[in-house]
Amino acid sequence: MVGMTRLCVPLTGSTCEQMAAGLTAAAAGGADTVELRLDFLQEWSEPAVRRLLEAAEAFPGDVIATYRIAAEGGHYDEGEAQRISRLEFVGLSGAVDYIDVEYEAWRVSANVRQKIGLVCDVNADTDRPRRRLILSKHDFTGTPIDLDSMLTTIAREPAHVAKIACKANTIVDALRMLDALRTSAAVRPTIALSMGEAGLLTRVLAGKFGAFLTFASLEAGQESAPGQVSLAEMKQLYRWDAIGPATQVYGVIGCPVAHSMSPAILNAAFGETGFDGVYLPFRVEPEYAAFAAFVDGCVVRPWLHLRGCSVTIPHKQNLLAYLEKRGGCVEPLARRIGAANTLCIEPGQQEDGTDAVVSAYNTDYRGAMDALLAGMGCRAEDLSGVSVAVLGAGGAGRAIVAGLRDCGCAVTIYNRTRDKADALAVEFGAEARPFEERVRHNADVVVNCTSTGMWPNVDDTPMPAEGLASRPLVFDTVYNPIETRLLREAREHGCRTVDGVEMFVRQAAAQFERWTSRPAPVALMRDVVTAKLRSAQH
């Protein structure tokens, strides 16, 4: 591993004044390095550029100058001689530490090799040249097969840093990029990143595998390439400074997955308990083949240290199918429910990971039961004989009916499609009633397992107010908004209430405890969810 990985902020202001302000903001945000993306400047004025370079000299870390051509994802599409002349001007100022030039431009242009090579001291007999050269190659269409040979080819040139950045069309492309990074970073300073949503793990885990640097935008909307997260997210959400070679990796597998709250909850929990882990969103396309390719790809890379994943729509059935084909432990109730939401991977002794132990669990029902017990103030054994009206017979309803029956509750299912309610009732020994009869229930507990009342349809409710007159405990699995119309009207009728946030937090807490063997910081996790929901509503 060559050196410590830097956190670099590309400055993409359209004026020199904006870039100078960005230098100050990047330093305040904790960036180690900044990249002056000169191709973003809408006009070139040497006096203004000189003032920018004076500001750059005051930056506490390293400064990279990049003047990217449009063919490799930049904004410059004018004369090449002018571009190289301007890069030479910036380099000779003494204000920058690195100059990034495209490998292809370096390969074909004697002008580039002569001028930029001289500025970067590529032929100097010293270990500490005044400026260093980054040779880079970009592919915005996909990830080539020959990543290793690409990096080796770049490294044959007198470059101080070799860089490749390619679009990840699937998350397996990102795993291949990490392969290339590990191999190259062991012998030379290397930047190897996958662009796009599927490539996020290469950005966040760059330090784990010894990359020269990774990029984070100054703010959302100021990215210089697809898939960059903001500096604040990298430092706070993903706890960049805590990630090291031994950090264990977790994540949420889904499609879509970008707006999942799980990374905020689990990363906060890792930080609170001092657990050396990081939790990432993994976008995996809906097909079983894509799911299996990703999990297999992680298992055969034991150095990745992937130890567990939350599994959400549309992959809960794919997880069970994967375990059936691969072999492994499946929690009995998860098998009965027909869906699992928690993947665990225990490493084996083989270098290729083929003897790793893979298992699957369902914490959706566990989260629901824990939330219900907390709301009722009782123990699991006290639920035997408690009557529960369940609204909905979909995936959430199925998991909760299974959990309720496992605790001995008397369950009645109300669903708009009667056949689904009947089938679920027969399978788990419950009763099914017509949906319109739900207002006449006499249950001790009402559980809403439908999406009715979820944002933005906040004025909807699955249970008319007259169905709350018997003052039961009302549990709504919807968590956005935190207080649904159902819960508000239940409270107004004197009912005890349990919100969906409690269930969401409890199922995440169950995953945390299974992965870490530590008590989950439930109160903190609840605070994180509540804060994110309230922030989103505003």
Instruction: Report the candidate in 299, 298, 364, 288 with the shortest Cα–Cα distance to residue 325.
Output: 288
Q: Which long-range contacts (CB under 8 A, 24 or more apart) does 428-434 make?
A: 428/336, 428/401, 428/402, 429/405, 430/390, 430/401, 430/405
For residue 138 the two structure tokens come to: 């970009």
**Contact in structure between 262 and 279 (CB atoms under 8 Å):** yes
**Contact in structure between 299 and 249 (CB atoms under 8 Å):** no
For residue 12 the two structure tokens come to: 């993409």
User: Could you say which of 115, 208, 305, 316 is catalytic?
Assistant: 316
Distance CA 144, CA 169 (A): 11
Instruction: Report the candidate in 204, 297, 282, 216 with the shortest Cα–Cα distance to residue 244.
Output: 204
Q: Which distant-in-sequence residues (6+ apart) come within 8 Å of 15 by Cβ?
A: 41, 42, 43, 48
**Contact in structure between 283 and 173 (CB atoms under 8 Å):** no
Distance CA 402, CA 139 (A): 49
Complete DSSP assignment for 129-160: -SSEEEEEEEESS---S-HHHHHHHHHHSS-S
Helices 500-516 and 522-537 pack at an angle, to 10 degrees, of: 130
**Contact in structure between 251 and 284 (CB atoms under 8 Å):** no
Q: Which distant-in-sequence residues (6+ apart) come within 8 Å of 404 by Cβ?
A: 369, 383, 388, 390, 411, 447
Strand 132-139 relative to strand 161-167, pairing = parallel
For residue 398 the two structure tokens come to: 């199925």
325 carries an active-site annotation: no
User: Could you say which of 115, 163, 167, 208 is catalytic?
Assistant: 163
Instruction: Report the candidate in 402, 400, 409, 401 with the shortest Cα–Cα distance to residue 378.
Output: 409
User: Could you say which of 138, 160, 208, 441 is catalytic?
Assistant: 138
User: Could you say which of 100, 364, 444, 499 is catalytic?
Assistant: 364
316 carries an active-site annotation: yes
Distance CA 174, CA 514 (A): 27
**Contact in structure between 254 and 291 (CB atoms under 8 Å):** no
Strand 132-139 relative to strand 98-102, pairing = parallel
Please give the positions annotated as active site. 138, 163, 316, 364
